[in-house]
Structure 1
Amino acid sequence: MMRVFVTGATGFIGSELVKDLIKAGHQVRGLTRSDAGAEQLKAAAAEPHRGDVEDLDSLRSGATGMDAVAHLAFSQDMTKFAQSGADEIKAIETLGSALEPGKLLVVTSGVAITIGGPGHVRKETDPAIDSPDIPRKPEQTAQAVAERGVHIGIVRMSQVHDTHKQGLVMFLIQIAREKGVSAYVGDGANRWAAAPVKDVAHLYRLALEKTGPGVTTYHAVEEEGVSLREIAEAIGKGLNVPVVSIPQEKAAEHFGMFGYFAGLDMPASSEWTRKTLGWEPTGPGMIEDLTNMQY
């Protein structure tokens, strides 16, 4: 039995993780900034801890005395991406400083911020992108925490989905609603790795239970790559709008600030993760969830 502090505990993945941890017999303290969140955590038999990722004192007190921390909180507001990246760095540093050497900090990263050109299937051994253009630095920040003797697990997200949410695909749906067409870039052959939310929560639980000394990276990937054309076609069918190809040079105009992601080819493997953790995702695929979504 472990005592685990979870940030993002009432969020999309975090709420599933809390349930999975408690079912496995662990004690959970969950970060929440609202009364509704506190009630949700109590109903799940977790201990509510008031605060948020910008309140570093609340993070410090939440992590103090715990065996492990799972840091999942990150703002989904793309207009504040740089600020969210800066907040994430401070949060990881604070959580790491509150843990004793030998305790575990599991942080959240993404296959989208992992080095890999078109056609390259990203693996757990590939390094994170270190560029001034990418404000998120969870892996680099966690590496520095590891130097204090804290064990580090890094979970790289793919497009995490159910029939209500689908990671970056949510932005594609929103743009398709606004523009009246569901679009992909070029031939739409670029791929995004994906995984169902309950399987991803289970991966976090296994990482919390099995990660040892040093820094270990895991990939939360069920499907190595789903083509953007397939995704756009599923959205078009769901919204009953035409499906169109947008030339690369018009991507920024059509997708706005999301244009960079719309053309990315970011498939990823989880072969090593599955073998190491004994993780076997069983949930539905991305297209199945998009097909069954209530638009």
Structure 2
Amino acid sequence: MRVFVTGASGFIGTAVVSELVGLGHEVVGLARSQESAAKIKSVNPAVKILRGELKDLDTLKKGAAESEGVIHLGFVHDYEKYDECCEIDRQATVAMLESLKGTNRPFLYTNDTFGLRSGKVAYEEDANDENLKNPRALNEETALSYEDKGVSVRCVRLAPSVHGKGDKAFVRVLMNIAKIAGESGYIGEGQNVWSAVHRLDVARLFRLVLEKGISGRVYHGIAEQGIPLKNIAQEIGEVLNVPAVSISVNNAEKHFGLMVLFIATDGPTSSETTRKELGWEPQQLGLLEDISTNYRPK
């Protein structure tokens, strides 16, 4: 299958591209710069490059129209301008879906689990919590609505922590905060949980959703349903040789900055249906073992 992949040069994207090419798919990767193109090519020289970025709607339309399937991984990760980034994502998503109308070709939309209701186990069939007013959750709904317009849309919701070699996201951010503060923090008793998954397990999941997924379905990229934030903070503290300490709710924003929006989340998430339907079983290291083994300062 000829697959157009946005975000192909990213932490998750390079793993997905490698997985697809390794199983015989032809991949066209979106690259916003020469550096991004080189990174994609380093995965496999056979990968074709389409130069452009998520704001280049005509380029996205061309990539989608000339493909037999699309995996939309690209997202501008600037959380100080989150609403703006979500609007860029919405326009990019709609542009590609419009190019696929009536083709019944697969389009995989990528979301996270932060739009789900906090404090209870979330399942694939659960809708996003309208009270949270998360714009990325609305983009997921927009994407899924194109099932009625002749596109085989599937959504993959990923754990807050997608970890592994090359991770620059939440775990690394928490480690940088701990280095600066001289302590690894968690809020209150730290019993709120994050789900987690390794990037290589995610790559395999995307391939399976592309090959075997059902139109209109939501799949969960979750290897570990819920890890207490205290445990994560303790593992980071062990790696950095700093104490793990409780941060009061009143001081949480000062300590964590923008990360407080995520660190306070209690989001146990199931992937039981995903595993049963696709035969997906995570095989890589768990988050705590990965931090202990691969996140140590060089």
TM-score class normalised by the smaller sequence: over 0.9
Which residue pairs with 2:128 in the alignment?
Answer: 128
1:155 to 2:156 alignment: yes
Cα distance change of structure 1 residues 117 and 37 upon mapping to structure 2, 3 Å threshold:
closer
Are 1:59 and 1:91, in contact at CA under 8 Å, matched by a contact in 2?
A: yes
**Sequence identity (%):** 39
TM-score of the superposition, structure 2-length normalised?
0.93
Which residue pairs with 1:40 in the alignment?
Answer: 39
Cα distance change of structure 1 residues 217 and 179 upon mapping to structure 2, 3 Å threshold:
same
Are 1:108 and 1:138, in contact at CA under 8 Å, matched by a contact in 2?
A: no
Q: Distance in 2 between matches of 1:129 and 1:122?
A: 11
TM-score of the superposition, structure 1-length normalised?
0.94
Q: Distance in 2 between matches of 1:201 and 1:107?
A: 14
Which residue pairs with 2:80 in the alignment?
Answer: 79
| Alpha-carbon distance, 1:280 to partner | 0.9
Q: Distance in 2 between matches of 1:206 and 1:258?
A: 32
Q: Distance in 2 between matches of 1:171 and 1:133?
A: 25
1:251-291 per-position Cα deviation (integer Å, ceiling 9, x unaligned): 12221222121111101111100011110110000001111
1:4-44 per-position Cα deviation (integer Å, ceiling 9, x unaligned): 10000011111011111111111110000111222333341
Cα distance change of structure 1 residues 27 and 188 upon mapping to structure 2, 3 Å threshold:
same
Which residue pairs with 1:207 in the alignment?
Answer: 209
Question: Which of 172, 196, 199 is 1:197 aligned to?
Answer: 199
Which residue pairs with 2:255 in the alignment?
Answer: 254
Q: Distance in 2 between matches of 1:13 and 1:42?
A: 15
Q: Distance in 2 between matches of 1:34 and 1:201?
A: 23
Q: Distance in 2 between matches of 1:238 and 1:76?
A: 26
Are 2:198 and 2:286, in contact at CA under 8 Å, matched by a contact in 1?
A: yes
Q: Distance in 2 between matches of 1:90 and 1:144?
A: 14
Which residue pairs with 1:58 in the alignment?
Answer: 59
1:177-207 per-position Cα deviation (integer Å, ceiling 9, x unaligned): 2222110001111110000000001100100
Are 2:11 and 2:166, in contact at CA under 8 Å, matched by a contact in 1?
A: no
1:188 to 2:190 alignment: yes
Which residue pairs with 1:275 in the alignment?
Answer: 276
The residue identity in structure 2 corresponding to 1:81 is Y
Question: Which of 104, 107, 125 is 1:105 aligned to?
Answer: 107
Q: State the secondary structure of the residue aligned to 1:60.
A: helix
Q: Distance in 2 between matches of 1:294 and 1:172?
A: 13
Q: State the secondary structure of the residue aligned to 1:112.
A: coil
Task: Point out where structure 2 has 5 or more consecutive residues left out of the alignment.
Answer: none
Cα distance change of structure 1 residues 142 and 33 upon mapping to structure 2, 3 Å threshold:
same
| Alpha-carbon distance, 1:132 to partner | 6.8
Q: Which sits farther off after the overlay, 217-226 or 136-145?
A: 136-145
1:35-71 per-position Cα deviation (integer Å, ceiling 9, x unaligned): 1222333341211000011111111111112111000
Are 2:193 and 2:228, in contact at CA under 8 Å, matched by a contact in 1?
A: yes
Which residue pairs with 1:88 in the alignment?
Answer: 89
Are 2:192 and 2:228, in contact at CA under 8 Å, matched by a contact in 1?
A: yes
